[in-house]
Amino acid sequence: MTLDINILSRSVFFLTACHLMQPLFASDAVDKVIFQPHPASYQTSLTGLSEVRAADGTTLALIHLPNNNAQQTVFYFHGNAEDLGDCLPVLKQLQSAGFAVLAFDYRGYGRSTGQPEEGNVYADTKVVLAHAKVNFGVTSERLLVVGRSLGGGPAVELAMREPVAGLILVSAFQSVARMAPGVKLAPDRFDNLTKIVHVRAPILIIHGTADEVVPFAQGQALFAAASEPKRAVWLEGVKHNNVFATASDRFLSELKNFAKNFPPGKEAPLRACFAGHEDSQANPLAHRTFRRFALRGSGGVWLDWLGADDLSATVGVI
C-alpha cells in the first residue's frame, strides 16, 4: 500500500505535537492532537462497506470482507491519518491470504460521523463487534486482532477484554505520554504498555527498526512486557508508513504462520512445572490458562511456544 506525503506528514505532526504540548493539557485539546483524520478517501461504493449506529446515533462506517474458507477473521484497526479507503489494499491482501476481514473507521474518520476520543473508540469497537457477531457470524474465539500504530490502542483493549485468538501489533506505541517524555497527561491515553500485561492471547509484535514516528524502542518495550506465548518480528530498515509497501509478504507470511500455530480452539487449563516448582510464586507461569496448541512428547507432555526456541516446558494437566 502506498501512502501519500500528507499522511506521512500528519503522522510526524502527531509525534511533534506531543513533544510540544504543555505539561498539562485539557482533555479535548489532547484528543485534537492525538486524532488527525483527513477527508474521506472513499465513496459509498467501496467494496464491503456498510454502516452501524452507535447508541448515541453516531454512524460508524465498516467493512466486512467474507471468506468462505476462512478459519479466522482479522479485525483490523487502522492508524492515524488513515481511513478504510487507504487500508482497502491491505484488507484485500488479508482476504486473499485466507482470512475474513473486519474493520471500521473511528469517529470523524472516513464516512464515520462524530468526534474521536479514546473512550468512544473502545465503545464503538464493542458496537462493531456485536454487529459482526450477529450479521457476519464472527466469534471472539476466532478473531485475530491487528492494530497498526494508533490502532494498537483499541486492539490491545479488545484483546485484554475478549477471549480472542491472537493479538498482532504493527508499529504500535507504549502510550501517548510515553511518546512524549516530560508531558503530563491526566490520565494517559492508549496505555498499551500497562494493558498488554493482561492480554492472555498469543501475541505477535511487528516493528520497523527505522521507524521515525513511533521509535523502535516502543515496540521492544511492548514485546518485553507481553506475556508468553509471544513472537517479535523486527523489520530491518523499515520505517513507520512503509511496512506494508516494503514488507507485505513478510507480514502476511508471519500472520499466516501465527494463525497456524495458534488455531482457534478451546482453552485448556494447564499448569507449567519447572524444576519441580509448581507454585505461582516460584513459577510465574504456574496456574495460568494456556491456549491449546501442539502438545507432543513421551513420558510427559511438552508445550511448544511459537517464537521462543529456548523455552519448552513440561506441563501437567490440573
pLDDT value at residue 98: 97
Please indicate, yes or no, whether residues 247 and 281 belong to a single structural domain of this protein.
Answer: no
pLDDT value at residue 151: 98
Please indicate, yes or no, whether residues 139 and 278 belong to a single structural domain of this protein.
Answer: no
Please indicate, yes or no, whether residues 255 and 286 belong to a single structural domain of this protein.
Answer: no
Please indicate, yes or no, whether residues 127 and 152 belong to a single structural domain of this protein.
Answer: yes
Give the residue numbers spanning the domain of 202.
Answer: 5-261
Task: Average the pLDDT over 210-223 and give the result.
Answer: 97
Please indicate, yes or no, whether residues 119 and 226 belong to a single structural domain of this protein.
Answer: yes
Active site amino acids: 149, 211, 240
Please indicate, yes or no, whether residues 28 and 101 belong to a single structural domain of this protein.
Answer: yes
pLDDT value at residue 134: 98
Q: DSSP readout, 232-287?
A: EEEETT--STTHHHHHHHHHHHHHHHHHHHS-S---EEEEE-BTTB-STTT-TTTT
Joined together, the cell numbers standing for residue 292 give 491449546
How many angstroms separate the Cα of 264 from the Cα of each of 217, 226, 295?
31, 20, 15
Please indicate, yes or no, whether residues 181 and 222 belong to a single structural domain of this protein.
Answer: yes
Please indicate, yes or no, whether residues 290 and 217 belong to a single structural domain of this protein.
Answer: no
| 159 φ, ψ (degrees, to nearest 5) | -65, -25
Please indicate, yes or no, whether residues 280 and 250 belong to a single structural domain of this protein.
Answer: no
Please indicate, yes or no, whether residues 128 and 208 belong to a single structural domain of this protein.
Answer: yes
Read off the CATH number of the domain in which 33 is found. Answer: 3.40.50.1820
Number of structural domains found in the chain:
2
Please indicate, yes or no, whether residues 22 and 61 belong to a single structural domain of this protein.
Answer: yes
Strands 143-148, 100-104: pairing kind: unpaired
Is residue 125 over pLDDT 50?
yes
What's the Rg (C-alpha) of the chain?
Answer: 20
Q: What is the pLDDT of residues 65-88, one digit of tens each?
A: 999 999 999 999 999 999 999 999
From 216, 237, 261, the end of a domain falls on 261
Is residue 92 over pLDDT 50?
yes
Q: What is the pLDDT of residues 232-271, one digit of tens each?
A: 999 999 999 999 999 999 999 999 999 999 887 644 333 3
